[in-house]
Amino acid sequence: MEIHLKALTFAPMYRNLVIKVGTNVLTRPDGRLDVTNISHLVDQIAALKAAGISLVLVSSGAVGAGREIFTVDEQTEEVASRQVLSAIGQVRLMELYRQLFAGHNLLCAQVLATKGDFRDDLHADNMLNCFRALLHDQIVPVVNENDVVAVTELMFTDNDELAGLAARMLQVDALVILSSVDGLFDGPPDAPGSQLIPLVNAADESVLDFIQDEKTSFGRGGMATKIRIASRTAQNGIPVMLGNGRTPHVLLSLLEGKWPGTVVTSGNERS
């Protein structure tokens, strides 16, 4: 089912977006980077840029990229293992993005953040100024959690939280969250008879009853986190689109004024 944004009084074209892509969209079942799907996503982002949309990409995948090229000793403590894989993988991930965006004559830039960067006014102002300068110069900011230094209280719940904070900081027209499922369903997504819920009101807590507890294989978050972040973001006047990053041309549907997943809205979006 596709939800037509015009019917919700949303504009089919957005001036600016934050797009978050989850680990399971960027990696194969074995945890290695899915270069083919990443390339397809970059193609779509380039098309959005060509249509005049300013956007920030929040990308997971650094740990998966690190796992692809390095095996951490089994005796290494979990946090240290994540730090090592992220430090190695972030280089690999950004080099891949650099090459793919260059194929569209676009530059991308790395922005790493911790939750502390959004709590501290000076850090937040510096980050906002950096985003504005990059976007002004038509550079695609690629944002990820700084896993090398983000431990305990500095960690985001996952990159959904980072994307929501970035969307609210930049006051974008919409936040897009891509995972390996089509959106919120009224039952287990793979169960016969389960139906996609195309529209969720941010204040409607009853939708939480439909959320399954399990997470996808390599990601840290799940649908509960996505709905929580989406509701908070929508209540700040920014609609949130939940969709499947493996659906062909999923991002291009934004140019057509429709969305094939779930839209979370407060009904009080900015015009």
What's the DSSP call for residue 48?
H
- Looking only at the bridges linking them, the beta strands covering 140-145 and 108-113 are parallel
For residue 258, say whether it is annotated as part of any ligand binding site: no
For residue 173, say whether it is annotated as part of any ligand binding site: no
- The Cα 134–Cα 132 span in angstroms is 6
By three-state DSSP, how is residue 170 classified?
Answer: helix
> pLDDT of 197-206, one tens digit each?
999 988 877 7
Domains and CATH numbers, the chain: 3-265 (3.40.1160.10)
Give the dihedral sign, CA 123/107/175/51. Answer: positive
The confidence score (pLDDT) of residue 1 equals 45
> What's this model's pTM, rounded to 2 decimal places?
0.89
> pLDDT of 79-125, one tens digit each?
888 889 989 999 999 999 999 999 999 999 999 998 888 888 998 99
* Residue 217 predicted with pLDDT over 70: no
- The Cα 257–Cα 167 span in angstroms is 20
**Contact indicator for 65, 268 with CB cutoff of 8 Å:** no
For residue 105, say whether it is annotated as part of any ligand binding site: no
Query: CB count, 10 Å around CB of 108?
Result: 21
Structure tokens at 55: 């956007």
Residues in the chain: 271
- The Cα 177–Cα 101 span in angstroms is 20
**Contact indicator for 178, 25 with CB cutoff of 8 Å:** yes
Band of residue 214 on the pLDDT scale cut at 50, 70, 90: low
The pLDDT of 175-204, averaged and rounded, is 89
For residue 60, say whether it is annotated as part of any ligand binding site: yes
Structure tokens at 172: 């974008």
Most confident of 115-124, 168-177, 203-212: 168-177
The confidence score (pLDDT) of residue 13 equals 63
